[in-house]
Structure 1
Amino acid sequence: MARRNKIAVVGAGNIGGNIGLLCAERRLGDVVLYDIERVAGPTKGKALDINQLNAVRGLDTRLVGTSDFADAEGADVVIVTAGVPRKPGMSRDDLVGVNMPIISDVAEKVKKHTPNAFVIVISNPLDAMVYAMHKVAGLADHMVCGMAGVLDSSRFRFFVSEALDVSIEDVHAVVLGGHGDDMVPLTRLCSVGGVPLESLLPKDKLDAIVDRTRKGGGELVQLFGTGSAYFAPAESAVSMAESYLLDRKRVLPVAARLHGEYGIDGYFFGVPARIGGGGVEKVYEIALDPAEKVMLDKSFHAVKAVVESCKL
């Protein structure tokens, strides 16, 4: 008998709940929503609510809400959203102290119950948290990565489509670097229906879009007031999980562990990578001009400083 895929979502808040719904809608596999005992009721409630939605949509995916990570045993994919979200006035890096113990605890559980899963980390500060997950859980380099570049690229594409009044489907963007205010949207390589972006917008407007992209998460934190983005991050993570589960081999910007690419070794950093049935199957290195290299180096040094502050 064929076996359904199993997806474990760690953290059943707004992002986690939306991931469960998206996995159900795409028929990617059965879903385990896991969260701590204190929120066991709402976690089970979200799973039950989506199960009841399935009847209306004609979906056979089953969700389980639990506070026992043993229920995730044997999961094919683990998506980690656990941790405290940003509040107004906070940077992602401000979350290191509070989220590091949470991620370390989750990593121990992953090591025990789901050691063979493909792990996607969403928790902030992203590049440091995926580094911690990899080290504590002892995961193979190709079986763990961070979700950030898909989201950052999507934000950039929306802002461009809005500025030019064109379909977002025809906007192609490349965003490299850490998930923070020093990320590097490569405007030189962005295009709209094959037309170079830099020929369509004046430099001042393009610079404004780059700045808004870098601060896109903070803009949403200010608007929400009590939390951070959740619809777009959930969709971004599910697109990565889907590429792994269905061996789609999509080339996506993810925080992958580098081995000399871009002059970086041993750190997780946002780069284009092929995601397929083998996990992170290949990292693509883009030839950068001197100005782009300076920006990328600045982004890496910011990521390195946060990672080193974790004292792992």
Structure 2
Amino acid sequence: MFSRIARSAVSIARSFCSSSQSNTKVTVLGASGGIGQPLSLLLKKSPLVSQLSLYDVVHTLGVAADLSHIETRAQVTGYVGPEQLPQALKGSEVVVIPAGVPRKPGMTRDDLFGTNASIVATLADACARNCPEAMICLITNPVNSTVPIASEILRKHGVYNPKRVFGVTTLDIVRANTFVAELTGLNPAHVNVPVVGGHAGKTIIPVLSRCTPKVEFSVDTLTNLTRRIQDAGTEVVKAKAGAGSATLSMAYAGARFAVSLLDAMNGKEGVIECAFVRSEEGECTYFSTPLLLGRHGVERNLGLGKLSALETKLVAEALDELKASIKKGEGLCECANTLTK
């Protein structure tokens, strides 16, 4: 099962510019930001996108004009400000949301909750009103809380479909693949490591026992590698020294997930990605596991599968934090009630 989870970097790159085509409108909410611009660029390259709708509160027209000069089929349109948000979303089949403020040194993802929670609530409300059947791919941190927020907003509008709301955790898989390749000398394009749980600190659980090709590490190396994967976002935040967080790698990971989803929506079989979704696979109501994607979103949740003793321990240790983050998101009732009145 896990051997099919992550496509190689070579196949992912090809999918951005393959010959297959579809007529799909994709909207990026937060398109002018550090993640939004490179993410939009990668989506512009995909033949699976026929209309690329870009929305932000500033500078979107310039970003759209810039991207529109690229010689690919996607027609790019920019929208600025709340009054143009409905038009940006009308007819969208996939909505990717990187909107929000980035982390700074010393901040955790959870520190972003106050600002980013209200942003996600507002955007989810707009999606519910203007494209209620769209696939929604949430990048905005803290993902462990923003996915429950968006889900509750959609539920209050009566349009919630758990098979169509995804927390994009793909960057954790991308990092795990890269770090394993660095240690082993393998080609990172051929390394596949599933990552389960959530998308913050110890809730990020790399299933290194199911890496393909199979790898062996000492206990110390395995512990350090797991910790590095969990703390990789902080590694970037520190390296940028106040200039932002992981933008380019997140844009790549977000585009990878969106293209996988588009592939599946267009009938490609066997598309598997990990994502943070509504789940019945464990003690948490939301959990990231490998998902078989299809025309209507999640076709089948493939669950955790067999874990090593260390991985089982890591899952158990992550549950309290994950449950608290989910409850925090679901508890944003006052904001939800205000937005839906």
TM-score w.r.t. length of structure 1: 0.89
- 1:190-222 per-residue CA deviation (whole Å, 9 max, x = no partner) reads 233xxx212xx3332232221111001111111
Cα distance change, pair 169–180 in 1 and its aligned pair in 2 (3 A): same
One-letter identity of the residue aligned with 1:299: A
- Indicate which of 16, 19, 43 corresponds to 2:39: 19
| Whole-angstrom CA distance in 1 between matches of 2:23 and 2:189 | 31
Question: What is the CA-CA distance between 1:113 and the residue it aligns to?
Answer: 0.7
One-letter identity of the residue aligned with 1:20: S
| Whole-angstrom CA distance in 2 between matches of 1:274 and 1:103 | 26
Are the equivalent residues in 1 in contact too, given 2:286–2:326 (CA < 8 A)?
Answer: no
Question: What is the CA-CA distance between 1:114 and the residue it aligns to?
Answer: 1.1
| Counterpart residue number, 2:28 | 9
| Whole-angstrom CA distance in 1 between matches of 2:177 and 2:65 | 35
RMSD: 1.7
Residue 133 of structure 2 corresponds to residue 106 of structure 1: no
Question: What is the CA-CA distance between 1:3 and the residue it aligns to?
Answer: 7.6
Are the equivalent residues in 2 in contact too, given 1:128–1:306 (CA < 8 A)?
Answer: yes
Unaligned runs of 5+ in 2: 1-20, 333-341
- Indicate which of 293, 297, 318 corresponds to 1:275: 293
One-letter identity of the residue aligned with 1:144: V
| Whole-angstrom CA distance in 2 between matches of 1:256 and 1:308 | 14
Are the equivalent residues in 2 in contact too, given 1:244–1:278 (CA < 8 A)?
Answer: no
- Indicate which of 195, 210, 213 corresponds to 1:189: 210
- Indicate which of 228, 235, 241 corresponds to 1:212: 228
Are the equivalent residues in 2 in contact too, given 1:256–1:273 (CA < 8 A)?
Answer: no
| Counterpart residue number, 2:327 | 308
TM-score w.r.t. length of structure 2: 0.82
- 1:19-72 per-residue CA deviation (whole Å, 9 max, x = no partner) reads 211111112221111112xx1xx21111111111x1xxx312111111211222
Are the equivalent residues in 1 in contact too, given 2:97–2:140 (CA < 8 A)?
Answer: yes
Are the equivalent residues in 2 in contact too, given 1:31–1:62 (CA < 8 A)?
Answer: yes
* Residue-pair matches, total: 294
| Counterpart residue number, 1:123 | 140
- 1:275-310 per-residue CA deviation (whole Å, 9 max, x = no partner) reads 221101111121334542231122232121122234
Runs of 4+ in 1 over 4 A off after TM superposition: none
Are the equivalent residues in 2 in contact too, given 1:74–1:116 (CA < 8 A)?
Answer: no
| Whole-angstrom CA distance in 1 between matches of 2:182 and 2:206 | 17
| Counterpart residue number, 1:48 | 65
Question: What is the CA-CA distance between 1:101 and the residue it aligns to?
Answer: 1.0
| Counterpart residue number, 2:109 | 92
One-letter identity of the residue aligned with 1:309: K
- 1:207-238 per-residue CA deviation (whole Å, 9 max, x = no partner) reads 22211110011111111222111222222222
One-letter identity of the residue aligned with 2:248: F
